[in-house]
Amino acid sequence: MNYKVSHPTKNINCEINLPSSKSISNRLLIIRSLCNDYFNIENLSNSNDTISLVKALNSSKKNIDVGHAGTTFRFLTAFFAIQKNKEFILTGSKRLRNRPIKDLVKALQEMGAKIEYMENEGFAPLRIIGSKLKGGSIQINAGISSQFISAILLISPTLENGIQLEVTKDLVSKPYILMTLKLMAYFGIKWSWNKNIISIRQQPYISKNYEVEADWSSASFWFEIAALSKKCKIKLKRVRENSIQGDKKIVDLFTSLGVSSVFKHESLLLTKSEKKTFPKKIDLIESPDLYQPLKCTLYAKDINTEILGLQTLKDKESNRVAVVKKELEKLSSSKRIKTYKDHRMAMSFAPLCLKFGELQINNIEVVNKSYTNFWNDLTKAGFIIYPLSD
């Protein structure tokens, strides 16, 4: 389905219950599956990615199809590799089958994992026969995806020799690796990170209940809305100031774009403030998911900034740098936005109606990957949305 999106006043006044973090939720689900004792997860994400992981972990079938869920696929690759004497066929959508998995598979194979490529080498689908992995000293290319590293770290306490994981080349999305390690520490795991080696000995996870905080990646679209509005008072609920999510960096980025952020009682209030000079160059190597809402905001405000650290974006749900450029260039002649089966495309371009007038967002259901209530929340903020048949 396609939507027409507009805003009559460009004045925003609303309170929003942001979705729970799917990044935290997915890590918790793997940890719980590796725990001897069950624990409760409060406010688990209801995103498609998390739902696909829940279904996979609870499935008794050999064939597991995770759709577009890249994090789910990578975490399960490592998790299934240690499920002794069980066989799995792990696959996903066409786009997912074009996303690289070779560096993760190679590292697991070096530990003794029995993983085969069923079609093209380096890509899904995979045939996995669970076995006892030896762990030990392993190298992995850290410049492809932090999810490869997190997938290995999550299973590492169960390995007989633990792990000494050497991360080589330029590390991307480091905050996501730190998120994984901090969550593991909450559940009793001791670890160390010296220079480029992460060490974890064999040890048990300790069961504890956990409440998932709101998703900072989802908050980024409300910062974009605040920046492009005439006036705003946006209250984002359940947002933690001491968050373990790296995308909290959005607060600092948007301060220079005229957005004031004040924390109060696990909520965040966004209002307009005096604009400052935005940097001529920024590096998003640690928070590449912020690229789309930031780039769209900068374009709408006619600000030229060189954005570095985007090398992982070509292998996301879409080639994000390329498709953002293509759709922004179309705005002068067409108000129809393609989303390329990428949730962040829909959520980054919808706020641009505050600058460019009514826009058509195609295939609006893509937001379900991470933020199922996005369109309903826009209506709370005064946006006018109506569906089109095609």
State the catalytic residues: 289
Rounded Cα–Cα distance for residues 286 and 70 (Å): 18
Residue identified by tokens 């959520």 is: 347
Rounded Cα–Cα distance for residues 348 and 327 (Å): 11
Q: How far is CA 174 from the centre of its chain?
A: 13
- Judge contact between 192 and 167, C-beta under 8 A: no
Sign of torsion, CA 52 56 60 65?
Answer: positive
- Judge contact between 318 and 340, C-beta under 8 A: yes
Rounded to a whole number of angstroms, the distance between the first and last alpha carbons of the chain is: 6
State both tokens at 177.
Answer: 């690796």
Rounded Cα–Cα distance for residues 254 and 222 (Å): 11
State both tokens at 293.
Answer: 């809402």
Rounded Cα–Cα distance for residues 237 and 16 (Å): 6
Q: Residue 120: exposed, middle, or buried by beta-carbon count in 10 A (0-12, 13-18, 19+)? A: exposed
Rounded Cα–Cα distance for residues 70 and 140 (Å): 18
Left, alpha or beta for 88 (phi > 0: left; psi -120 to 50: alpha)? Answer: beta
Rounded Cα–Cα distance for residues 361 and 381 (Å): 17
Rounded Cα–Cα distance for residues 19 and 23 (Å): 11
CA 139 to each of CA 163, 167, 371: distance values in angstroms, whole numbers, following the listed order = 10, 6, 35
